Amino acid sequence: MRPASFRHHPARSVDEALTLLASEDEDARILAGGQSLVPLMNLRMAQPSALIDINGCDDLGRIDEAGGWIEFGARVRQREGELSTAVRARLPMVAAALELNGHPATRHRGTICGTLAHADPSAELPAVAVALGAEMVLRRQGACRIVPAEAFFLGALETCIEPGEMLAAVRFPVQPARAGWGLAETGLRRHDLALAGIAVAMLPAGVTRICAFGITPEPLRLPTLEAAADDLPRSGGTPATQARIAEALAADLEGADLVDTLHASARYRQQVTATLAARALADARQRASQETAT
Amino acid sequence: MPGNAPFRHIGRPMPRTEDARLLAGGAAFVDDLPELPGTLHMACMRSPVAHGRIREIDTSGALGLPGVHAVLTGAELGDRIAPMVADRDKAGFRETRRDILPADTVRFVGDTIAVVLADDPYVAEDALSLIVADIEELEPVVAIDAALADGAVLVHPEIGDNIPFSIAQTTEGFEAAFAAAAAVVSDVFTSTRLAGVAMEPRGCVAQVDVGLDSLTLWSSTQVPHLLRLAIAELLDWPESRLRVIAPDVGGGFGPKAHVYPEEILCAYLARRHGRPVKWIGDRQDDFLTTTHARDSRFAVEMALSADGDILAVRNHVDVNIGAYACFPFGANAEAGGGAIYMPGAYRFAHYDFRARSVMTHTAPAGVYRGVAAPVAHFAFEGLLDRAARKLGLDPLALRRRNLLRPDEYPHVNAAGIRSDGGSHHECLERALAAIDHDGFRAAQPADRRIGGRLVGIGVACITEHTGQGASRYRTRGLLRVPGMEGATVRIESDGNVSVAISQSTQGQGHLTAFAQVVAESLGVDPEQITVSEGDTALSPFGSGTFASRGAVIAGGAAYRASQEVAAKIRRIAAHHLEVAEGDIELVEGHARLKGVRQMALSLREIAGIAHSLDPRALPEGEEYGLEARRFYDPPGVVLSNAVHAACVSIDTDTGQVRVERYVVAHDCGRIINPLIVAGQVHGGVAQGLGQALMEGVHYDETGQLLTTQLLDYIVPLAADVPDIALCHVETPSSDTLLGIKGAGEGGVIGAVPAIALAVNDALAGRGAMVSRLPLSPEYILSLMTMPAPGR
Amino acid sequence: MTDTPPDANAADRRLLRTTVNGIARQELVEPRMLLSDFLRRTLHLTGTHVGCAHGVCGCCTVLVDGATARACLTFAVQVQDREVQSVEGLGEDPIAAALRASFHECHALQCGYCTPGFLMAARQLLSETPEPDEETIRVALSGNICRCTGYVNIVRAVRHAADSLAAARDQQQGLSDAR
């Protein structure tokens, strides 16, 4: 389990990285933390022709807060985001998602943009990005486009990043005061990849955004459940509430391509997603009311 | 000395002498050994299909890659390596063969079809992708039922079916006893296939002295002597020119107690090319090719009286052993064990068993810590829970009623196994007290629900077959397992002590424990004794480290050899001190007249006399040197026993089971080092927890392995295993030297049923009881939502 | 590696400058060489073990600029101008020393293959959270697999090391107060 050969291009800036990317063939990849890419390379399931190494790009290493957004450059490590006081205060669900992602040793290297670009169905951060309405900053030499998180994820390990393009940054709208959030997941072990999970963002104006992960190849917004969320009784967990959530979820999953693996069937994933949704909604409500109180 | 004499070193919780170098990064696992000049790195191409006929393997692309030295296929190898044969034809057994590098037929995804030798491990792996294999895919059999079906595809057509081993036995009067029962409970208990997952994958390095035609093979093995024997047989090479060394080995747990094709290939290729050949398996190799285990099904019936006495048990075991019978244990280890291990702590007179090993196109399965016992006890304890419900008895009362009492020992059980003792009741009461069983029950609601969780407690009473000697292996038909162990104890000419043991250690603390045993005999500090293991050139012949035999048998051999040396020290000392031998004591590195400090000779002086380096002569008739080599072969088998108690909680939303509290009360006879014994129990429990809750090797219906990474095959992490409390009950065996019983496997054997019973308890009232492993969240959730059966 | 095999990629070697265990190193490496191989095969620092090569088991955990990282998921070229510490380089580190002593005393290692990785993960934890509770320890160590100990004595040893470091700090504090 050792990787095949590749051309290695260290870049010192994002512009240099984009130039190098433009000069390489379609199989070139960006190397940031490598925590998702290198395992695939060691297994020789990924054999990129070239790696554009952005670890030397200091201009991609910043967490910037401006205009109601917090933006993470492509080299910002997950651990940096997790421990950032700005993130913990104003994007608490992002900090919580990062804590659930891998382990300290992988978060020290792995980047926030890297886990988004990898688009693993069991990962928390893509769903959190969708729930929070994050935006992806995609750049290629001489061009830049902004893609909402919801349009970014196309499937398992599949995004709308095109050849020659890189995810240069991701930005999250700062959560207003009195916003609530809930993040619930379950795995086979206590600290494990999620078999299913739910991210809930509850905005003060009565807007609730809910996104599931682990159950479909890409993070899935749940509009029916979102619409029903406001009407659900405040105390979650009663059979009646559960039934309503399950019903709404079933409507949202109608025709969806459900993940079905040896570790958990699609049926199980759907079943627990409903109960996880109840938990995440309850957490979000409770946090929203706490925020009001303070 | 066994008996009442107080021990100075045996029984002491001495931290290990092994630790310092491991903690400093100075260990020498196979891949850590300095690379020998000219080393060629071997990489293996594995069959991509479960069953197929090799048409052609085109190696030209690989051979053309710079840095590639050679590529070998089975067709090219011809018959230069004899096939591995683990069993011979005899009653119940069929002989099958395993080609080291198959030329015609591949039998599982992972069978080796070509090997590359290259200057660098990266290049060796590059070369694999350039080999083109043309294999005609044939229909595979993957599961037990398919392999047993009429007209099933045969894995080894020459034996006529897929059953290389079967055995059946019924006690006299079984049917009458069964018919007289007031109640019968039955169920089928299944266990998903497991992998051992030692943290160090297998690996080996072979070096040949071309002039002498002699081989040194370093291997991550549990059985250095048996590996040497296999190399000699398969390569027709005198054992006298072969040396096998097991250096530091990063976990064994049974799978490394088998001989593997890569070891034979490295030896062969080093001889053929006159250069060192190194193969280091990676995790994927490990999941594909290292033996699996526990792919088994137990169909069990238990007949009881109205009062709850167990009258008779029927046990039909089928085990999927994969594509080949592994050397040295052959086809029967798990199936035979599944039958023999079931009668344990409980009394019953009538037993009917039938056990079969079933071959399929999957990786070979073999011994893994606990062998069949964890599942056998899972099945048996599961039936007791069903019996308690059916008879309306308290599950604990039912167990107390049927547990063997101390006054019933020595006891010969219904499978014919004799045991000299068992402290089941004492262990039970100790475990119940330690886990506060009564307090738990008092706090546990009738519907088991606390918040969003169901809580339950499980108590399992188990035995562990340890220290099996030669007679036991002969009886079981495992003729390639010698059963005994050997030890050499030598006082060097400067008075320092060297010990060489026939086993190898994979973390069990042998070097410390055996130093404690020898120190006891010689009256020196264990720290001053140098113990070596794993080197066939240094140690006497022996079986190796598996089946909880280290402390009992190798410990016994070390004790015998050290006693013999001690006797000679006493004779020399008595002669020169002019006192009677019986008045000499060995303490603090001296032989002295009992209680008289001034009347003493140091070990250094005595060693000088024995090596003719002292003005004083040896007593007349004594041989030069101060060393002894002794073997130990204990009678039959000695049974350790334990009671495991687990508290679990189940998330009612997800079905996820969490083990909250855990207690083990166990009896492994005389304990050499309680720290080490505790470590064995802890590790075993964690592996049992893994089998109970999460671990599983999965193949799809075409025989493709689905679990090839640690993301797919999951094992317990620190957050999944609770702290484990231990109660040591110490009943020395009267059958073994020093009264030692083994302790390597009880942890895993007890944990599987204890956790399963705790889950049964937590689910109580819902009608469901668990019958298959692992207890995955999905399985548990399905039981929770299942209507109560009309049982 | 001492010998230089005549492979096709020899031309694509990079001069890697890095500091390992306090010693400045300059080596020609292939870009694809993993940090684990650089440490083990080039520098002969074999205390860092490889248990899975896909980032799950934690055996190969080392410190890069003082923070834990998987050597099997890091290319050697990525530690250009960085400081790497492997288990061999932890000798003087007070937290690591306390951990080694506690691991020995509490019998927190058996085969020892995973041990260097656990020392790294535990050191990371105690450097950030000097007095962790049991749950915190268990979560912090959940990126490392041990198959021998059931983690029981590892968790106890980390607690023990934290206690002994705290006692040492208190003593230090007492001494400076007395002055």
Q: How many Å apart are CA C131 and CA C137, to the nearest integer?
A: 10
How far is CA B124 from each of CA B116, B240, B287, C29, rounded to the nearest angstrom? 6, 32, 20, 17
Residue A31 host element (H or E): strand A29-31
Residue A293: inside a domain: no
Is residue B649 within 8 A of residue B723, CB to CB? The reply is no
> Which tokens belong to B579?
């006192």
> Helix, strand or coil for residue B449?
strand
Is residue C147 within 8 A of residue B253, CB to CB? The reply is yes
Does one domain contain both A213 and A271? yes
Q: What is the amino acid identity at position C176?
A: S
Decide if pLDDT at C4 tops 90.
no
Domain parsing of chain C, residue ranges: 8-89, 94-178
- Closest by CA to B84, choosing from B336, B302, B328, B372, is B328
A264: contact with B, CB 8 A cutoff: yes
pLDDT band at C33 (very low <50, low <70, confident <90, very high): very high
pLDDT of residue A237: 62
Does one domain contain both A92 and A166? yes
Q: Burial letters for B573-591: b for 16+ Cβ neighbours within 10 Å, e otherwise?
A: bbbbbebeeebbbbeebbb
pLDDT of residue A53: 97
Domain termination residue (choose one: A137, A172, A207):
A172
What CATH number does the domain located at C8-89 have?
Answer: 3.10.20.30
Other C-beta atoms lying within 10 Å of the C-beta of residue B788: 9
Residue A226: inside a domain: yes
Contacts with B, C 41-80, CB within 8 Å: 41, 44-54, 56-57, 59
Strand A165-173 vs strand A158-159: parallel, antiparallel, or unpaired?
unpaired
- Closest by CA to B269, choosing from B311, B312, B235, is B235
> Helix, strand or coil for residue B302?
strand
Identify the residue among A41, A44, A120, A188 best suited for mutation to test binding to B, counting B beta carbons within 10 A and taking the highest.
Answer: A188
Does one domain contain both A48 and A69? no
Is residue B191 within 8 A of residue B378, CB to CB? The reply is yes
Is residue B572 within 8 A of residue B607, CB to CB? The reply is no
Residue A264 — φ and ψ, nearest 5°?
-165, 135
Does one domain contain both A105 and A166? yes
Residue A197: inside a domain: yes
pLDDT of residue C7: 44
Distance (Å) from the alpha carbon of C134 to chain A's nearest alpha carbon:
15
Other C-beta atoms lying within 10 Å of the C-beta of residue B232: 17
CATH number where A123 lies: 3.30.465.10
Residue of A nearest to C8 (CA): A5
Does one domain contain both A126 and A184? no
pLDDT of residue A233: 66
Distance (Å) from the alpha carbon of B192 to chain A's nearest alpha carbon:
12
Q: How many Å apart are CA B623 and CA B607, to the nearest integer?
A: 12
Residue of A nearest to B123 (CA): A4
pLDDT of residue A241: 86
Q: Which CATH superfamily does the domain covering C94-178 fall into?
A: [2Fe-2S]-binding domain (1.10.150.120)
Strand ranges, E, within B80-176: 84-85, 97-98, 105-106, 112-118, 132-137, 165-170
pLDDT of residue B155: 98
Q: Do A105 and C54 touch (CB under 8 A)?
A: no
> What total number of domains does chain A contain?
3
Q: Do C54 and A190 touch (CB under 8 A)?
A: no
Q: Burial letters for A271-288: b for 16+ Cβ neighbours within 10 Å, e otherwise?
A: bbbbbbbbbbbbbbbebb
User: Residue length, chain C?
Assistant: 179
Does one domain contain both A77 and A131? yes
pLDDT of residue C5: 42
A268: contact with C, CB 8 A cutoff: no
Residue of A nearest to B699 (CA): A262
Strand A220-221 vs strand A208-213: parallel, antiparallel, or unpaired?
antiparallel
Q: Helix B746-763 and helix B674-693: axis angle, to 10°?
A: 50
- In terms of DSSP H, where are the helices of A173-265? 223-229, 239-253
Q: Do A6 and C32 touch (CB under 8 A)?
A: yes
Q: What is the largest CA-CA distance in chain A?
A: 59
C171: contact with B, CB 8 A cutoff: no
* Domain enclosing residue A250, as ranges: 180-288
CATH number where A15 lies: 3.30.43.10
The complex scores an ipTM of 0.97
Residues of A in contact with C15 (CB under 8 A): none
Q: How many Å apart are CA B228 and CA B243, to the nearest integer?
A: 7
Q: Do B67 and C6 touch (CB under 8 A)?
A: yes
Residue A58: inside a domain: no
Q: Which chains touch A (3 or more CB pairs under 8 A)?
A: B, C
Residue B52 host element (H or E): strand B52-58
The stretches in chain A having pLDDT less than 50 are: 293-294
Domain termination residue (choose one: A172, A192, A209):
A172
Q: Do C113 and B684 touch (CB under 8 A)?
A: no
Q: Do A43 and B709 touch (CB under 8 A)?
A: yes
Distance (Å) from the alpha carbon of C53 to chain A's nearest alpha carbon:
6
Q: Do B687 and C147 touch (CB under 8 A)?
A: yes
Walking along chain B (791 residues) 10 residues at a time, the average pLDDT comes out as 70 97 97 98 98 98 98 97 92 95 98 98 98 98 97 97 97 97 98 98 98 98 98 98 98 98 98 98 97 98 97 98 96 96 97 98 98 98 97 96 97 96 97 98 96 96 96 88 97 97 96 98 96 97 95 97 98 97 96 95 98 96 97 96 98 96 98 98 98 98 97 97 97 96 97 98 88 97 71 36
Q: Do B651 and A186 touch (CB under 8 A)?
A: yes
Residues of C in contact with A28 (CB under 8 A): none
Does one domain contain both A226 and A256? yes
Q: Do C111 and B676 touch (CB under 8 A)?
A: no
Q: What is the amino acid identity at position A195?
A: L
What is the torsion angle, in degrees rounded to the nearest 10, for the CA atoms of residue B409, residue B413, residue B418 and residue B423?
A: -40
- Closest by CA to A120, choosing from A4, A9, A261, is A261
Q: Do A189 and B717 touch (CB under 8 A)?
A: yes
Does one domain contain both A91 and A156? yes
The β-bridge partners of B185 are B302
Domain termination residue (choose one: A151, A172, A193):
A172
Q: Which chains touch B (3 or more CB pairs under 8 A)?
A: A, C
Distance (Å) from the alpha carbon of C119 to chain A's nearest alpha carbon:
12
Start-to-end C-alpha separation, chain A: 53
Q: Do B34 and C86 touch (CB under 8 A)?
A: no
List domains and CATH numbers for chain B. Answer: 19-27+484-632 (3.30.365.10), 33-138+199-251+255-289 (3.90.1170.50), 292-470+635-784 (3.30.365.10)
Q: Which of A5, A188, A262 sits opposite B698 (nearest CB)?
A: A262
pLDDT band at C2 (very low <50, low <70, confident <90, very high): very low
Residue B572 — φ and ψ, nearest 5°?
-65, -45
Does one domain contain both A84 and A110? yes
Distance (Å) from the alpha carbon of C22 to chain B's nearest alpha carbon:
16
Q: How many Å apart are CA C109 and CA C92, to the nearest integer?
A: 21
The β-bridge partners of B299 are B188, B316
Residue of C nearest to A109 (CA): C69
Identify the residue among A35, A38, A107, A188 best suited for mutation to test binding to C, counting C beta carbons within 10 A and taking the highest.
Answer: A38
Residues of C in contact with B253 (CB under 8 A): 147
Q: Which of A2, A268, A276 sits opposite B125 (nearest CB)?
A: A2
Q: How many Å apart are CA B664 and CA B427, to the nearest integer?
A: 8
Decide if pLDDT at C86 tops 90.
yes
> Helix, strand or coil for residue B34?
coil
pLDDT of residue B1: 42
Q: Helix A239-253 and helix A266-293: axis angle, to 10°?
A: 120
B508: contact with C, CB 8 A cutoff: yes
How far is CA C102 from each of CA B17, B722, C95, rounded to the nearest angstrom? 14, 19, 11
Is residue B254 within 8 A of residue B195, CB to CB? The reply is no
> Helix, strand or coil for residue A23?
helix
